[in-house]
Amino acid sequence: MNQPAAKPEMMGVSKNTTAIFYEDVIKGLQSCPKRLNSKYFYDANGDKLFQELMNCPEYYPTKCELEIFSNKTGALAQSIIADGDGFDLIELGAGDAMKSSYLLKYLLEQQADFRYLPIDISSNVVNYLTVKLPLTLPGLQITGLNGEYFEMLTKAASLSNRRKVVLFLGSNIGNMPVKEATEFCKGLREHLNPGDMVLIGFDLKKSPKTILAAYNDKGGITKRFNLNLLERINRELNADFDLTQFDHYAMYDPESGACKSYLISLKDQVVNIGGKENVRFIKDEYIYMEISQKFTIMQTDQMAANTDFHPVDRFFDNKKWFVDVIWMAG
């Protein structure tokens, strides 16, 4: 018998997020080289564009991980159910929960004792999940958390003392260079107790042409996704970026495994932000937008060892382009 349905809840941040957004943008654009934080890609239109990107032919990571979650659901579930004790299933950067929904459905069918806590920086995403999922997955206990990962992990820990299983899917770990990703995993470990688990998706090194095509698609969705951040700055921070005067450029280094995206200024120009700050660009100057780091299996095992986790299991797609690893906190 499934658990009784619980009323969806949402717990979030009360800070002035616009002020924080402004500070981060100004700091990034006044640095050398200029940069913008990729976490701000995901407003309502950014969410929509990312959905389009995931469905375009060249973008393989979502398809690979979806294959794992749809074809190996039982094995994934059994690994995290462990001894059958109750647990909180926490998803960092939940998005539309398309992949995790397979796991949630299976856990409900197995009458597992768990509560789902999706965490996302986008309030639009969290609102959507807390309304939609209880309708599509009757009996699901869900508490949505809107805010920064570690801040919301602290909040999640205050809600119950049950074992934690943290999902970090979609190669979100690849949004950081290897050193930063390792520091992130150390921070994650600090928020967990021994015996808690993490399930992390890693995009693996493969043909450079395959990787580059995924971040420079023919339809120009990645370009629009990157430019949308400038549009968001215009709208929310009263800036005057001319989007036609910036172009998207992606590159992949097979040695380091770093795939990086930039926006290039097509002319000398000055952009005003909020009527306060003028940001000067020279022709061909770039804004560093994001990294999509690719890994080897050896690197994932080393990262676990360096951050006080023990590898428990790993799951591949058929092409072995992607892996979902399960680690246990030591």
Please give the average pLDDT of every successive group of 10 residues along the chain, which has 330 residues. Answer: 31 64 97 95 90 93 97 97 92 92 97 96 89 96 95 95 96 94 97 97 98 96 98 98 98 97 98 96 98 97 98 98 98
Task: List the structure tokens of 132.
Answer: 């939609």
Domain range enclosing 235: 38-56+208-293
Residue 281 shares a structural domain with residue 313: no
Residue 100 shares a structural domain with residue 43: no
Is 5 a domain residue? Answer: no
Residue 158 shares a structural domain with residue 303: yes
Residue 173 shares a structural domain with residue 317: yes
Residue 199 shares a structural domain with residue 320: yes
**pLDDT value of position 158:** 95
Residue 159 shares a structural domain with residue 213: no
Is 8 a domain residue? Answer: no
Provide the CATH number for the domain around residue 198: 3.40.50.150
Is 9 a domain residue? Answer: no
Residue 197 shares a structural domain with residue 263: no
**pLDDT value of position 95:** 83
| Location of structure tokens 């508490």 | 143
**pLDDT value of position 84:** 82
Is 142 a domain residue? Answer: yes
Is 255 a domain residue? Answer: yes
**pLDDT value of position 293:** 97
CA distances from 274 to 37, 41, 80, 98, 309 (A): 18, 19, 48, 37, 45
Residue 151 shares a structural domain with residue 244: no
* Residue 246 and residue 236 in contact, taking contact as beta carbons nearer than 8 Å: no
Is 263 a domain residue? Answer: yes
Strand bridging mode 286-293 / 277-281: unpaired
Task: Count structural domains, the chain.
Answer: 2
Is 12 a domain residue? Answer: no
Q: How many CB atoms lie within 10 A of CB 183?
A: 14
Percent of the residues in the chain that have a pLDDT greater than 70, as a whole number = 95
